Structure 1
């Protein structure tokens, strides 16, 4: 069986690993495994997914042919640096992390110095609910070969470029819009709720953009993504800011998105609220819970 390792066993890593466990030997490693409290949660999760828990990062990489890094944006380069010490020729490192092209290039330099192949992967949609069918753009000198390997495993991948960083540039530029829409909705409806005019605002938005779902579940979905993943999204948007600065584009909007994404998460923490306590998520109730806590 193909030996595959996932570094990072959060939402994306766990979904991909569980799906691949039916057709490959999967090992996982996550720095949370070194902390007793989070290890107690992660080990049963790994067992339920049918994957092996490594003793260390070095152990996780030892027999792996394919290595997937699916950590937070803030840790992406650190993981590449740590993994490079144990990687060797014949292994392929797939960097799924949402970071700036310059960060991907720095990671590629580290990985390729070890003799392993580096693949820039841009995850172009939320991994749930599509799982392996989530669209991926990939790039790098050996990306065409890697694309065939991914598709053989059931991934919905597509070769984009032979250059590291180009696939991620697509993702980063897209994130300005996607994460921005989430942040704008959070800010817009938070204010509308305080003035008691949210119904009129939503009706107006629906009239202007009837196909988007403003009269339905779209507001709940957009704000829920901030409440659940705002920390990770803020880290990604800091990489977007870096992406824009590298080509001398104004970062005003992207810096505002960082503030709004991080701000809602910080408010939840300050009030002692978790996302689980707000599910099933309804944006009005969530905002009221913040006021009551």
Structure 2
């Protein structure tokens, strides 16, 4: 059964979430959120995006037809339970599109949680940078028996792409893709810090400029943008590791990436936000700060 979608709910209005909401609002789709337990930064981003703020999850689910979950991986099941409980309490129903960077198995767990309350579930995975109004937008891959219902968002500025009726396929694409992009950023960060610790940064950079100039350019762009997001990427690397383990591959490479992002999260770089950054704005600055954070005397 096709559900008429005339309003969207969204959690949470962080970097990606508020950008998705802003594009939808700009293109005529009302977007609601709830800021209970959220930071002042989230409130500011929600306001900047033009989102309607509801006082509770119960109020939120009564106002929307489609709910988008865009939260750090560790919060995916918790948010699903909050929405499921609110739906049960209010006796309403909606479509739940999980857009989080979680493994197919975690996605199926989220689906079981929300479907138990009578909610229609769609698996989703976002690939690309946060969307810009009248600019580039990421792809939102969706899968599941009801995936086509999410394509209504294509009329409101987004790029939703169904890839079949199997729950877990959209999240699986996201996991494999992020293993390359964010996994490579972790590896590049680690090897550059190792070179710095050994006093070899200059020599390594000279060789990269000779034989790996494209990779060096990639690291110059990707590593400085990583620190404010590192705390979220720990959970994402763990979910990718779980994905690989579930199909019989080693999880160890991506668990190492999770360790790298954990280290970043323990440094002053973790206190920076995209809007107010003063440190870690170049590859070398990030490398020097992380080198200082290494245990000494080994």
Structure 2 residue aligned with 1:29: 34
Q: Secondary structure at the match of 1:158?
A: strand
What corresponds to 2:6 in structure 1? 2
1:110-125 aligned within 5 A? 110-125=113-128
- CA distance in 2 between partners of 1:291 and 1:141 (Å): 49
CA RMSD of aligned residues (A): 2.5
> Which residue matches 1:51?
51
**Alpha-carbon separation, structure 1, partners of 2:191 and 2:174:** 25
Q: Distance in 2 between matches of 1:4 and 1:150?
A: 10
In the TM superposition, structure 1's runs of 4+ consecutive aligned residues that sit over 4 Å from their partners are: 128-132, 289-293
For 1:95-116, what per-residue CA distance to the aligned partner results, in whole angstroms no more than 9, with x for missing partners?
A: 0111010111111122222222
Say whether the 8 Å CA contact 2:36–2:55 is kept in structure 1.
Answer: no
SS of aligned partner of 1:136: strand
Q: Deviations over 1:75-98 (max 9, x none)?
A: 101111111123367521110111
Give runs of aligned pairs for residues 69-218 of structure 1, distance below 5 A: 69-87=69-87, 91-127=94-130, 133-147=137-151, 149-210=152-213, 212-214=214-216, 216=217, 218=218
Once the two structures are superposed, residues 239-279 of structure 1 have per-residue CA deviations (whole angstroms, 9 ceiling, x without a partner) of 1122122222111111111101111111237xx85354435
Match of 1:235 in 2: 235
Q: What runs of 5+ residues in structure 1 fail to find an aligned partner?
A: none
Hey, what does 2:272 align to over in structure 1?
274
Residue by residue over 1:106-144, the C-alpha shift from the partner in whole angstroms, topping out at 9 and shown as x without a partner, is: 111222222221111111122256877211111011112
Q: CA deviation at 1:287?
A: 3.5
Deviations 1:6-48 (A, max 9, x none): 1111111110111111212211124433xxxx34x43343222
Aligned partners of 2:280 and 2:264: how far apart in 1?
18
Local SS of the residue matching 1:9? coil
- Whether 1:16 and 2:20 are equivalent positions in the alignment is yes
Map Cα deviations across residues 181-239 of structure 1 (whole Å, 9 max, x no partner): 111111111122233432432343344444x352x4x2232222431211100111111
C-alpha distance in 2 between matches for 1:261 and 1:290: 11
Aligned residue pairs, count: 282
Q: 1:201/1:290 Cα in 2 relative to 1: closer, same or farther (>3 Å)?
A: closer
Q: Secondary structure at the match of 2:163?
A: strand
2:99/2:123 contact within 8 Å kept: yes
What is the CA–CA distance in structure 2 between the aligned matches of 1:170 and 1:46, rounded to whole Å? 29
Q: Is the partner of 2:108 in helix, strand or coil?
A: helix
Structure 2 residue matching 1:278: 3-state secondary structure:
coil
Q: What is the TM-score with the length of structure 1 in the denominator?
A: 0.86
8 Å CA contact 2:32–2:54 kept in 1: the answer is: yes
Flag structure 2 segments of 5+ consecutive residues without an equivalent. Answer: 294-298
With normalisation by structure 2, the TM-score equals: 0.85
Secondary structure of residue in 1 paired with 2:129: coil
